[in-house]
Amino acid sequence: MKPAPAALPIEGELPSLDGATGWLNTPPLTTAGLRGHVVVVDFCTYTCINWIRSLPYVRAWADRYAGQGLVMLGVHTPEFAFERNAGNVRRAVQEMRVGYPVAADNDYAIWHAFGNLYWPALYFADTQGRIRHHQFGEGEYEESELIIQQLLASAAGPGSGEPPARSVVSVDAQGVEAPADWADLESPENYAGYERTENFASPGGIVPGERHGYTAPVRLRLNHWALSGDWTVDGQASTLNAAIGRIACRFHARDLHLVMGPAAAAAIRYRVLLDGQPPGEDHGLDVDGQGTGTVAQQRLYQLIRQRGPVAERTFEITFLDPGVQAYSFTFG
């Protein structure tokens, strides 16, 4: 257990929430209406693996401290265009068991009001609406919870009786929410749209915004990726125009995820190979041991989880139907 946090500085006032484009799990909230509560604002977007891995702690804090005066407030600020879709966000909130209030921030108004730059980002405010602490990125969960406890104790005042013991929640995160294997993580996030991609290895490079036939090299260097088939690469995503199409990458990590979805309503079949073979026990949640799966929603798909020693591997996904849109690789 870490020592109790020192006296917390005042980092500013809790900004306005008026820029929210919608609300989930609550009627619209205001900064003024939140006075008298300790508030933790959690900036998120539902396909972000870094936020997904922090979610078990945020959920646990919301459950544990709601009756003591805490308001956990999610602010969903979309990274990709499909994350602006209210139906997609509503489905994700339900499937991820997010029961606390969530503001949709499609216009980035709340994001800019906070001067935020990160997913996830936590801002801790006292009962007077003053921001007293922040946490950017994954980690420091124990420190964050102790700060929640400190703010709640300060709100209760000296006459509220003996403060509770400083225990923290115990989280057993599973599946895609499990912590990354940081010791063996040598592959960074990469994007399948031309605006932010790196290390694209198909001969001739990307033809931005135009339908083009791509081929993949026989071998890929670590953290390089390639397309084969008839694709259109736009700023945010690569879209497959005709079956059959393939994406390959060389990575070093326990987990490999791909953010993707169908361009239209039809589901899209895919097959995954790891070093040229079905993944077997190394399959992720969204693929079976034979490597088969289906893209039916716009979300993050876990395709590989290496069960044994983590090694540098070559990943391939072949789409048997046209219409998939691939956005980004993330690893864990």
User: 182: Cβ–Cβ under 8 A, 6 or more apart, which residues?
Assistant: none
Cis peptide upstream of residue 188 (ω within 30 degrees of 0): no
User: Mean pLDDT throughout 288-308?
Assistant: 97
Q: Evaluate whether the domain defined by 12-177 bears CATH number 3.40.50.300.
A: no
**Alpha-carbon span 53 to 272, nearest angstrom:** 24
Provide the mean pLDDT of the chain. 95
Taking CA atoms, 17 is separated from 29, 102, 145, 202, in Å, by 7, 11, 24, 45
User: 30: Cβ–Cβ under 8 A, 6 or more apart, which residues?
Assistant: 16, 17, 18
User: How does residue 3 score in pLDDT terms, banded at 50, 70 and 90?
Assistant: low
**Alpha-carbon span 213 to 235, nearest angstrom:** 18
Q: What is the pLDDT of residue 156?
A: 81
Token output for 180: 């990354």
Q: What is the pLDDT of residue 1?
A: 58
Q: What is the pLDDT of residue 225?
A: 98
DSSP 145: H
Q: Evaluate whether the domain defined by 182-331 bears CATH number 2.60.120.260.
A: yes
pLDDT per position as a tens digit, 38-64? 999 999 999 999 999 999 999 999 999
Whether the per-residue pLDDT at 226 is higher than 80: the answer is yes
Single-letter amino acid code for the residue at 255: D
Q: What is the pLDDT of residue 201?
A: 98
Closest CA to 115 of 129, 101, 94, 136: 136
Single-letter amino acid code for the residue at 270: Y
Taking CA atoms, 40 is separated from 83, 131, 267, 294, in Å, by 22, 9, 38, 37
The pTM (predicted TM-score) of the whole model is 0.94
pLDDT per position as a tens digit, 74-131? 999 999 999 999 999 999 999 999 999 999 999 999 999 999 999 999 999 999 999 9
Radius of gyration of the chain (CA): 22
Sequence spans of domains, the chain: 12-177, 182-331
Report yes or no: 26 and 33 within 8 Å, Cβ to Cβ. Answer: no
